Structure 1
Amino acid sequence: MERIENQMEFLLSAALCRCGNIADAEDLTQETLLSALLLQERGGRIDNLRGWMLTVMERRYYDMLRRRYRQPVVSIEETFETGGAADCPEDWLETETAAEEAVRVRREVAFLAQMYREVIVRRYMDGQSIAEIAEALDIPQGTVKSRLSFGRNRMRKGMDEMEHYDVRSYRPVRLFVSNSGHEGMAGEPASLVENDLIAQNLLYLAYERPLTETDLARAVGVPAAYVEPILKRLIDGGLMAGTGDKFYTDFIIYTREDRERFLPEQKEFIARWFGEIWKPYERFYRELRETEVYQRMTGVRRDALELFCFFNIFDDGIYKAFSDAFKTEQIFPDRPNGGRWIAIGHVDTGEIPAGAEAHKYSYAGRNNVWLDNYLDTKSIRMSLFYPEGFPMRMFMRGKDSIREDQLIKLLYIIESRSDVRQSGFEERYLRSIPWLVECNVLHYEDNKPKLSIPVFSGAEARAFDSLAGAASTELAKALRTPLKEYLRGKKKPVPAHLKSVPLQKQYLYSDNAMLMIALRMAMEKGLMRDDGYDNGMQPPWPMILVTEK
């Protein structure tokens, strides 16, 4: 008993080298000590205590890696005969070692890509001949032999390198995927990785350089059979691509440090050029307030429209200035399930804390949701921005959240007073109405929900777009030269194999905070309305609804 307890400091040091953190190391040490004590109680004899404990620790460590992803040990066979007297205490260590070797072999088979795994299993587990395998798979015998050879070499290499498991196998990252453009009908690309930690880590691992299926499986500590369908989903969905037998992540990935790096410089830029920035706004708002459509709006809709216009003009203006300065445009490729988008990854960020500096200047770009031939309309368009820099309530989050594809229907039903039973609307989302009131998308009049956002006809929207387009073009002309000078040296590099990333996305967080910085500055100067949006007051939602009859 005393001899085993004296090994605690040695075991903890060894476990810490394995785990990289004290909590896991302590758990691993305790499990190893418990195994030794149980063997001692059974009357077992251990001649080389430290060597035996390290062997047990290694096995417990691999078990821990598998539990990280909640995956079982994958066995090719139902049982594995080890031979020897398993019940004899004197043979216990030898039996355990043989069993561990068997597990390691089965584990390495499981890590092989499907084409190699299949021939290995048929040859060595099922006992099929080379000729039988060739006939069953309809491939030449020479191909069977080459795959067997490659598979054996990969297994041998894997058994030698198991101790070099990638850190992602026991300390996975979280990767959040957003997009520019129109998402797919099922919420792609975000839905392709949402709540799927393995998919997120495969994308993270395959970003810097292309990796084989086996490399990826080994890196996350998950058998290839589990990895294969995830890789297929990511490739089919447009988030990954392949070259030969290797796969790579096909979009840019940012970190929280990337998002915060250029905040001071962006503040300086806006402060220096604010006078030029405000000139097109001043003319635009003066002309807007004179239009008939603005005059007939209620106050709450006017507030929402003016905030929408600020986002719309700046977002469009900065894009035009960039495109003019660098002579480049973003191309949004067609994606599966009706999407047209460019993905952007954010690793190890999650929700930025509300008090963080980067959060104050965060916003998501313009999103357009279209609905054709709905009820009595030819088309409906909902355009909106997400001003995440304010601590506002978001309609797509929370207990009674609602998706954009259902929100656009609900807004039109309320505005047109249509019969919801004849609308094809999912009536369960009617419970979202009180939440939408809290979010300032709706309000109550005479106990009935009314829209708090502006509604345009098609003709009114075209006139509005023309007015806003002229202002954004004027803003772009004012900012084109200074923006190009400001952006010098601020491009985020991407791996050499990654060719699909637009230039705009490489500069994303070099100028992304400028809109909210300019808006906050306008509020401080009394040029834009601020009812205490940082102190719990819900801002108007920068959103419009356009109906074409």
Structure 2
Amino acid sequence: MNADIIESYIEKVYGYAVNHTFSREEADELSQEILFTAVRELPKLKDDSKFELWLWGIASNVTKTFRRYMGKQRAMYSYDTLESFPYEEEQKNESEELYDALRTRIAMLSELYRSIIILFYYDGLSIKQISEKLHIPEGTVTWRLSEARKKLKKECTEMNETALNPVKLMIRINGEGNYKDPISPFPYVYISDALSQNILYYCYETPKTVEALAKLCGVPAYYIEDCLGNLMKREAVSEVSKGKYRTDFIIYSNETREYAEKAKGIFAPVVEDFVSSMKILADAAERLGIYTAGKPKEELIYLYGILAMEHLSEKYNPIKWVERPVRYDGCRWSYHAYLMNGNQNPIRGLGREESSNLGSRGTYKHISYHFGGFSYREMMFDNEINICEDILLGRKINDTDSATSAIAKGFISKKENGKLFVTVPAFTKEQKQQLDLLADTAFQSSIDEYSDGVRKYVHGYQKLFPEHLKEDVARACSYMFLTLYATHICDMAKEKGLLTPPPDGSICDVLIQYK
């Protein structure tokens, strides 16, 4: 087999390495070791059709060896500082401590100033020699040296206490793309290390310099620079002016939770009429012959409600959608993050994952929702969806591997008679079209008032976020048409006894035929 094929797997191997290590440095080292081993062992591969299976087998074996080598415990940060600076005389302990402190402060400077200090004081070069070495004018060297001295004097104070109390973000994406861990990780995997999280947090409200970030995070500036390089490559941070960096996506904090509770009353007048509309739709849906997977009407009413909101959003959503940008990987998506307080998510929202099953033989897509009372269930992938479709249509099952996977994930179960049973409700294309028409009629008396409530809610909500994120905020506000149904209407209806809470462990997902 031609070794060139390995080139096409470089990004996937790196993604695998990121998922199996604790830092980008380790990921770089592990991915290089996997690729080197693969190139070396490639001549031994006899069956070209088994290349991918063979490659991930090598990756697994190399990873085991790598982990034994690196050890199981990792510090959150590496606090290494410059340790190789020469000085001639042996100093007293107090002097050594002074040198250590000075080296640490130099390490906190950005490369622009750090290199000047090292070349002048530690390497002993003159202004002229530094000018020649760095290919910059002597006047620039003199100015940078002066600025570096000022910064060192300023930095020789106690490190910001936040450096000892790092923040924790849970980063995710909204949008579309072809991602499947661990081979093709979601983009947020590459920016979820501890240092990245802290940089993103500190650059959120106002742009920060490398020196400011080094002080806030408590790590040498060269780690900050390396991390910023990756964050810019992954389009999470931008340089808004020379040497100043800003986070380019929304971070939800407790402020959003507080606003949600405060503004809850906006929807109090519409809850009863809205729930009446939901019940009218649920009654009418019973006549469509929908495959309900044996779920009771008390659960299905929530599913019908969210499907109705998705349909009605096209006409009644007061906040128009802003298209997501095309990202570095060619897909349209955007990051968002939650500032975690322990394990508590700062907002209650509507989770939605959709597997569109594109480029497959199947005609169905899978959508998984999770909100108040409904447990999270990961979305199906193409072959799993197709197996469910085969069962629904009474076809013979040939792909036993995908069937086994679907059973393990709970999408399929076995009846007492041994027959396979799909646990997810399903709509044919015609049934979904009919449900949309029924929703138009059922919500006629309540949708205008709900839409007006959404408009009032987002008027205050959009003020919670930095001005530079207005496109991201517009998208978040547009999605509120669906979210507020899940977090406010449904919750208030359950509190008033208008809706029955779903039993523990309930799932809200659906298969919809779309072609």
Classify 1:265/1:351 alpha carbon distance in 2 versus 1 (closer, same or farther; 3 Å). same
Tell me which structure has the larger Cα radius of gyration: 1
Classify 1:149/1:506 alpha carbon distance in 2 versus 1 (closer, same or farther; 3 Å). farther
CA distance in 2, matches of 1:142, 1:472: 73
What is the letter of the counterpart of residue 201 of structure 1? N
**2:336 counterpart of 1:344:** yes
Unmatched segments (≥5 aa) in structure 2: 1-73, 391-395
Classify 1:272/1:156 alpha carbon distance in 2 versus 1 (closer, same or farther; 3 Å). same
**Is the 2:303–2:509 Cα contact (8 Å) retained in structure 1?**
yes
Note the alpha carbon deviations across 1:176-205, whole angstroms, 9 max, x for none: 2244333673554542443x2221111111
Q: Tell me which residue corresponds to 1:442.
A: 412
CA distance in 1, matches of 2:433, 2:83: 65
2:166 to 165, 172, 191: 172
Counterpart mapping for 1:308-347 below 5 A = 308-314=303-309, 317=312, 321=316, 323-324=317-318, 328-347=320-339
Please give the secondary structure, in 1, of the residue aligned with 2:343: coil
1:453 to 402, 407, 424: 424
**2:508 counterpart of 1:542:** yes
Classify 1:224/1:290 alpha carbon distance in 2 versus 1 (closer, same or farther; 3 Å). same
Q: Tell me which residue corresponds to 1:370.
A: 356
What is the letter of the counterpart of residue 172 of structure 1? P
CA apart distance, 1:271? 3.6
Counterpart mapping for 1:141-152 below 5 A = 141-152=138-149
CA distance in 2, matches of 1:449, 1:495: 51
Q: Tell me which residue corresponds to 2:486.
A: 515
Q: Tell me which residue corresponds to 1:243.
A: 240
Q: Tell me which residue corresponds to 1:33.
A: none
TM-score (norm 2): 0.70
Note the alpha carbon deviations across 1:385-429, whole angstroms, 9 max, x for none: 112x22x55345xxxxxxx4x6453232354365447x8x7x9xx
CA distance in 1, matches of 2:160, 2:248: 21
Q: Tell me which residue corresponds to 2:199.
A: 202
Please give the secondary structure, in 1, of the residue aligned with 2:450: helix
Counterpart mapping for 1:156-171 below 5 A = 156-159=153-156, 162-163=157-158, 165-171=159-165
**Is the 2:173–2:336 Cα contact (8 Å) retained in structure 1?**
yes
Classify 1:105/1:202 alpha carbon distance in 2 versus 1 (closer, same or farther; 3 Å). same
CA distance in 1, matches of 2:489, 2:469: 33
CA distance in 2, matches of 1:339, 1:474: 39
**Is the 1:461–1:546 Cα contact (8 Å) retained in structure 2?**
yes
CA apart distance, 1:442? 3.5
**2:376 counterpart of 1:384:** no
What is the letter of the counterpart of residue 356 of structure 2? W
Classify 1:264/1:415 alpha carbon distance in 2 versus 1 (closer, same or farther; 3 Å). same
TM-score (norm 1): 0.66
2:218 to 205, 217, 221: 221
Q: Tell me which residue corresponds to 2:189.
A: 191
Unmatched segments (≥5 aa) in structure 1: 1-66, 85-94, 397-403
**Is the 1:108–1:158 Cα contact (8 Å) retained in structure 2?**
yes
What is the letter of the counterpart of residue 394 of structure 1? Y
**Is the 2:116–2:141 Cα contact (8 Å) retained in structure 1?**
yes
**Is the 2:250–2:473 Cα contact (8 Å) retained in structure 1?**
no
2:81 to 74, 78, 86: 74
2:274 to 272, 277, 282: 277
Please give the secondary structure, in 2, of the residue aligned with 1:544: strand
**Is the 1:76–1:125 Cα contact (8 Å) retained in structure 2?**
no
**2:405 counterpart of 1:413:** no
CA distance in 2, matches of 1:237, 1:118: 27
**Is the 1:454–1:545 Cα contact (8 Å) retained in structure 2?**
yes
**Is the 1:80–1:102 Cα contact (8 Å) retained in structure 2?**
no
CA apart distance, 1:370? 2.5
Note the alpha carbon deviations across 1:474-515, whole angstroms, 9 max, x for none: 754232334434666554433455554424647989995552
Q: Tell me which residue corresponds to 1:26.
A: none
Classify 1:496/1:483 alpha carbon distance in 2 versus 1 (closer, same or farther; 3 Å). closer
What is the letter of the counterpart of residue 106 of structure 1? R
CA apart distance, 1:215? 1.0
Classify 1:69/1:363 alpha carbon distance in 2 versus 1 (closer, same or farther; 3 Å). closer
Provide the aligned length of Structure 1 versus Structure 2: 431
CA apart distance, 1:74? 0.9
CA apart distance, 1:467? 5.0
Classify 1:514/1:464 alpha carbon distance in 2 versus 1 (closer, same or farther; 3 Å). closer
CA apart distance, 1:114? 2.4
RMSD after superposition: 3.9
Percent identity over the alignment is 23
Please give the secondary structure, in 2, of the residue aligned with 1:299: coil
**Is the 2:350–2:483 Cα contact (8 Å) retained in structure 1?**
no
CA apart distance, 1:119? 3.6
